[in-house]
A = this chain, B = another copy of it.
Amino acid sequence: MEAAKAAGFPAVVPPSLQTPAVLIDLEILRRNIDTLARAVSARGQRLRPHAKTHKILNIAAMQLAAGATGLTVATLGEAEVFADAGVDDLFIAYPLWVGEPMAPRLAALARRSRLRVGVDSCEGARNLAARLGDEAGLPGVMIELDSGHHRSGTEPQEAASVALAARETGLRVLGLFTFPGHSYGPGASAGAVDDESRVLQQGAASLRAAGFDELELSGGSTPTAYASEPGAATELRPGVYVFNDAQQLEMGHCDVGDIALTVAATVVSRRERPEGGGQVVLDAGSKILGGDRPSWASGFGRILGAPSAHVSALSEHHGTVDYPAGSRLPDYGEVLQVIPNHVCLVPNLVDVVTVVQRKGGSTERQAPYKIVEQWAVAARGQNS
């Protein structure tokens, strides 16, 4: 830290912090949660944020306080964690295939909460009903549509046959959902917003013709949630927006001032170049940053306050950062803040996150932090 001070870089992170550590800037987090909640509400849409991004009870509580109607989760295990904490309106936005060990857990959760789960096939709907038995143990179902991501989800013209198969087995069909994952990429979100809306409307028309009504039309993804329009969907399920990340930054969906989560990391090795710049190695690798790197990304992450630097390589515990010629290379022991590429992977890699605030209420990005508290990542590792 002495080196950083000498070079005129304030010690933003308290020296008592053991790196690598996940930092959450409380003010930015609050602002992100409130800003999107207001935007979605102003469009007449409901917000059901995806909690797989944070997996943290405190953040879920902030989202619900800001008007979220419930939570979206990816797995039954995540749903159980949030239900245990008192969240009673949950959507497992995943085409669950219910096997022997999952059936009693799912039925128990359906009995104690308003639960909806995804299905994307007649087989999935029939299996769900057959495994779960009586009506009180049956969740409501949402039919998943493929809007262009080509992962799970049925075609909109087949949605009615899945809905009819579900109804035949006694399941309540609540609506349709889609995840426009093809919104991830520079310039891709406008097309994905259109696809999401079109596919939901096509699916809804097909379901209404088959006698289903009062349909929830649920869209997803942070890029499309920022850009959705009134009437395109009845609810939205963005996850990343609470923190934002290097992907959102590089796609132009947020500014660096909207980045609420960073990984504090220490310079452990360096190679200066005579012309300035060079390479440093940080003590943060893919086991805390996650290893996602889409082809269009500039690297494996960015460095807060050093827009010309790029994380050029990640090993498990090493992050290699390149600084261009003419730039100042950070010194040994200096603590940098890495903006991860895909923030959803990060809380899942730690047991706790460190919540920080700028000292003295400063909004200046380089003002020192004080540590406010530590939050447990309650749903970490809930893969099933």
Contacts and interface: CB of A to CB of B under 8 A. Distances in A.
A258 B382 CA distance: 29
B381 A351 contact: yes
Interface residues of A, number: 59
Interface in A145-176: 151-153
A313 interface: yes
A383 B288 contact: yes
Contact of A97 (B97, B100, B153, B266): B266
A151 B313 contact: yes
A277 interface: no
Contacts of A121: 269-270, 332
Interface string A287-310: 110111000000000000000000
Identical subunits present: 2
A143 B246 CA distance: 35
B268 A384 contact: no
A238 interface: no
A101 B281 contact: no
B318 A100 contact: no
Interface majority SS (helix, strand, loop, mixed), chain A: loop
A381 B96 CA distance: 28
A152 B18 contact: no
Interface in A253-275: 266-270
Interface stretch (A58-66, A228-236, A341-349): A341-349
B124 A332 contact: yes
B317 A101 contact: no
B318 A18 contact: no
A287 B123 contact: no
Contacts of A17: 101
Contacts of A283: 94, 97, 384
A59 B75 CA distance: 30
Contacts of A360: none
Among A97, A153, A270, A284, the most chain B Cβ lie within 10 Å of the Cβ of A97
Interface in A322-361: 332-333, 344-345, 348-351
A49 interface: no
A219 B275 CA distance: 33
A257 to B, nearest CB: 27
A15 B99 CA distance: 8
Given A95-B269, A99-B18, A151 B383 contact: no
Contacts of A350: 381, 383
B384 A100 contact: no
A120 interface: yes
Nearest to A179: B315
A101 B269 contact: no
Contacts of A281: 95, 151-152
A33 interface: no
Contacts of A124: 268-269, 332
A37 interface: no
A180 interface: no
A142 B278 CA distance: 25
Given A20-B384, A124-B332, A97 B267 contact: yes
A117 to B, nearest CB: 11
Which 9 residue pairs of A and B lie closest in terms of their CB atoms, listed nearest first?
A152-B269, A18-B101, A97-B268, A291-B291, A123-B332, A74-B317, A15-B100, A152-B281, A18-B384
